[in-house]
Amino acid sequence: MSSERPDVLIAGAGIGGLCCGLALARSGRSSRILERSVDVAEAGAGIQIGPNGMRILQKLGVATHLSGFAAAPRGIHIRDGITGSTLNWLPLGDWIEQRHGAPYWTAHRADLQAALLAAVRRVSEIEIVPGFEVGAVFTSDSGVAVTAIDRRTAEAPVLIGSDGVRSTVRAAMFGEALPLYSGKTAARAVITAVGGLPDDMLENVGVWLAPGAHVVHYPVRGGDELAVVVVVQEPSTGECWNTSVDATAVYERVAMLAPELGKLLRRAD
């Protein structure tokens, strides 16, 4: 870690923290990003990025790194989950880019994270410190001091908390605030064997609506894979928000909520 004091400390090297560092660098401000993990990598599945988000990624120089790994869906195909019949189709592709001045992309979170890291590593004003888990935050007239679990320290005039839903920075400044269960669970999976799927599924965002639930799928990895998200209204299971779920369980839930989609996914599995 450099001994030079940066303009800003950022807790967390996730999507938000890396974007924040790039945005600060554009205005000539240096930042030091403190990341608890030793390896800066994003887990998870897919992410949809609308024109507002894409416009920011373009300005930050990230879109060029992501372009080969993202997909640009032609539209959003909305279906009845039970019958599989089309309810509506909303255009994306060229239409939305011409209307809003930026495209609509879908990507794997790991690919977005890699693109952000590639952009960050080309900017001298940003330093990433891996393995720095924020343990305590202290404020003074001269700025903010952060102490890590391993007793390392970092100081700057400003600290930005981008350290997730259970933010240590937020808790230090405003007290503990545990997230509340919304009444819905979301299970995600990524299908790699997409050769048996129809072109419609690989060219569009799909939304299948069912009572108290819905299923969303969209292409990632340049269209070579398909991200699937199942959202169900149900009582809290008491499990952590990022608990692993067996892919078979996700497919079984899809088959129950949207039988026609379940048949298509079984064909690809």
DSSP result, the chain? --SSPPSEEEE--SHHHHHHHHHHHHTT--EEEEESSSS----S-EEEE-HHHHHHHHHTT-HHHHTTT-B--SEEEEEETTT--EEEEEE-HHHHHHHHSS--EEEEHHHHHHHHHHHHTT-TTEEEEET--EEEEEEETTEEEEEETTS-EEEESEEEE-S-TT-HHHHHHH---PPPP-SEEEEEEEE---TTS-HHHHHSEEEEEETTEEEEEEEEGGGTEEEEEEEEE-------TT----HHHHHHHHHHH-HHHHHHHHHH-
The predicted structure's pLDDT at residue 237:
67
DSSP 8-state assignment for residue 141: T
pTM for the full predicted model: 0.89
Mean pLDDT on 9-34: 96
The least confident of 49-53, 54-58, 249-253 is 249-253
Strand order across the 126-130 sheet: 126-130, 31-35, 8-11, 158-161
The predicted structure's pLDDT at residue 267:
65
- Environment class of 135 (CB within 10 Å of its CB; exposed 0-12, middle 13-18, buried 19+): middle
The predicted structure's pLDDT at residue 251:
78
Q: Is 218 a catalytic residue?
A: yes
The predicted structure's pLDDT at residue 246:
75
Q: Give the active site residue among 104, 181, 218, 251.
A: 218
The least confident of 41-55, 77-91, 219-233, 246-260 is 246-260
pLDDT tens digits, 158-204: 999 999 888 889 988 888 877 788 888 888 888 887 788 888 999 99
Which distant-in-sequence residues (6+ apart) come within 8 Å of 79 by Cβ?
85, 86, 87, 206, 207, 208, 209, 258, 260, 261
The predicted structure's pLDDT at residue 269:
58
- Environment class of 257 (CB within 10 Å of its CB; exposed 0-12, middle 13-18, buried 19+): buried
When the pLDDT of each residue in the chain is averaged and rounded to a whole number, the result is 89
Cα distance between residue 166 and residue 131, in whole Å: 17
Three-state secondary-structure class, residue 130: strand
The predicted structure's pLDDT at residue 43:
66
The predicted structure's pLDDT at residue 236:
75
